[in-house]
Structures are given as C-alpha cells and as structure tokens.
Chain A
Amino acid sequence: MAEPTAVDPRLLEILVCPLTKKALRYDREAQELISDAARLAYPVRDGIPIMLVEEARALADSEVRKS
C-alpha cells in the first residue's frame, strides 16, 4: 500500500478547474491538480481528485506558472 492510488490518466485529461473551467496541471509528487488561473491546488486523495474550492490550497506567488 506504499504507492498512492494512481489517478486515471483519462480523467486528468478531461478535468478542468471548477472555478475558471481552465486546464489543470498535475503535480504527481504533491498529488495536486493545479489551476494557475484560479491560483488554487486541488488535492488528490487516495486517487480521487477533490475538485472543491473549499478543499483547495491557495497557491503562493512563486508557485503560479504564467501561461
């Protein structure tokens, strides 16, 4: 049980930020889906993406990638 449950890659392709409806970046190491536009990181817990704004972590300036 050391490996975290992997997120279905097809799911990652279709998910967008619920707030901005823009594409997300997957940070495999941190198990987060990152919305640069909303400056939020949505957690992935036990392989399930948690696409709720109230569960998301606010990004620091240094973490935001400009597109």
Chain B
Amino acid sequence: MVTDAEHMASGGPGAPEDTVDFGFRRVARTEKAGMVRDVFDSVARSYDVMNDAMSGGLHRLWKDTMVSKLSPRPGQHVLDVAGGTGDIAFRIVNRSRKGEDGAAAHVTVLDINQSMLSVGRDRALDRGLLDGLDWVCGDAMNLPLPDRSVDAYTIAFGIRNVTDIAQALREARRVLKPGGRFVCLEFSRVVLPTLRRLYDGYSLHVVPRIGRVIAGDADSYHYLVESIRRFPDQQAFTTMIEDAGLSQARHLDLSAGIVAIHTAWRI
C-alpha cells in the first residue's frame, strides 16, 4: 500500500511542495509521518517522565487548563487526537463525571502511534478507568470517523507533528457536529522578549541533554524542540483555524506564551 500511503501523506498529486519541515531540516513530504512515528516510538515509554523533567511539571497545569476550557459534560463524545498516553482523555473523563460513579463523557483516543496507545491503555487499566474510553490508531489528516459525529475535538501537543496541518484542521471541522468545540494545546511564541531568550537557550541546549540522560535519546528531543520553534505563532495559527472553516477562533497564552490554547467552534 505504499502508493496509497504516499498519496495520502502528500495531500494528493500536484501538492505544491515535495519537502516539509522536520525540526530544522527539510525532508521529503512522504517521509515525515514515518520519521515522526519513529520519534514517538522512541520516546513513548519515557514520555511522561520527560514531560515532567522538561517542563518542571508545568505540562500538568497546561493540560488541566485545557480541559477546564473544554468543560466536558456527561454523555458528550470527545475525539482526542494525538492523545496516545491518555493524559487529556483521563482528565476529560474525570472532569465530566457527575458524582463518584456518575455518567461521564466518552473519549475516543486516536494516535498514529501504536506504542503511545499501548502506554495509554495500560495506564487506563492501572487507574481503573475501564469505561468511557476507546483507543484507535489513526491519522489526523484522514480521520476514521463520520462527518458531524463528535461534540468536541481536542489535540494537545500533537498538531505541530502533523505533515499537513491545514488538512488536519479541515478534518477536525468535518468530524465536529455543528455547535461542536475545537480545543488545541500547543507550544507557541513566548511573548516576553527577555523570557524568550532564556527559553530559547533552555530549549535548544538543555532539553536535548535532559533527553539524553533520562530517555537515552537526544536526537528525538532535538526534533521536538526544533519542531516547536517552527510552529506558527498565535496569530498565524488562529488564521489557519479560521481558514479551515472553524469559527470564532481565539487563543489563550499560558506561561507567557510558551504554550497557547486555541479554541474555535464549528457553526
């Protein structure tokens, strides 16, 4: 199925460019998805430890804030894309639950990477979260869900790894029901110049070293840092969301713009 896979990864024949960003390098458009998958295969087992080490635990607050913005309710169906390890899905289920054993939201966790999904499902079992979650391997650019089928679409620290971000946003709109909510958490542009210089030094030089020590893998973390710096800033990403046909796109900076939450609606 190589031909079809290439066809999909390239966004169809006649795609204007045949190379895309992979961190600071340019790679063949058709190769990026596989290369990103290798990065996450490599980091899956140490992913949560690394997130704590790199962000000083801040990623937990960012994710809590994202889910409180979503404000999920029992009975809603949420699609969490690139959600392999379950971090967002567990928060959604817990936050939506009314009472100790009450009804909760249902979350379909989708990730392109089977290693990440296996980690997430194991963690769900460890936490006794048996209901309300299902796990599917899939591609954000070609979602295996029908049109207008979900109440909310969430994606945390995932969209910058997608080969064609505009296509992923169009898919988000397609699967959302009218009135459905789009919520994205992603690294963004630090808005304070002094902090930006500190952050640049930290992310470019310190994070790969932490990656080497904790995860035994500096290269993957080089990729992660570089991909963060390549990602469009708050305004540019807001425009992309609206170009995909989603409405009322807004953003909220967290930690001075180290990350931002983008929200929008399908009207």
Residues on A lying within 8 angstroms of B by beta carbon are 8, 10-11, 14-19, 21, 40, 45-56, 58
Contact = CB atoms under 8 A, between A and B. Distances in A.
Interface in B134-159: 134-139, 142-147, 149
Contacts of A40: 1
Range for the number of chain B residues in contact with chain A: 20 to 34
A48 B121 contact: yes
B145 A14 contact: yes
B192 interface: no
Contacts of A19: 4, 8, 142
Interface of B: 1-2, 4-5, 8, 106, 108, 112, 114, 117-118, 121, 134-139, 142-147, 149
B137 A50 contact: yes
A10 B145 CA distance: 12
Contacts of B137: 48-52, 55
A53 B145 contact: no
Contacts of B108: 11, 14
Given A51-B139, A55-B1, A58-B1, 20 more contacts: A11-B108, A11-B134, A15-B145, A16-B145, A16-B146, A18-B138, A19-B8, A47-B135, A48-B117, A48-B118, A48-B136, A49-B136, A49-B144, A50-B137, A52-B112, A53-B142, A54-B1, A54-B4, A54-B5, A54-B8
Given A45-B114, A54-B4, A10 B146 contact: no
B138 to A, nearest CB: 4
A47 B137 CA distance: 11
Nearest to B146: A16
Contacts of A51: 136-139, 144
A18 B174 CA distance: 12
Contacts of B146: 14, 16, 21
Given A14-B145, A53-B1, A8 B134 contact: yes
A56 B145 CA distance: 17
Contacts of A52: 5, 112, 137-139
A54 B9 CA distance: 10
Given A15-B145, A16-B144, A50-B114, A10 B4 contact: no
B134 A17 contact: no
A52 B142 CA distance: 9
Nearest to B9: A54
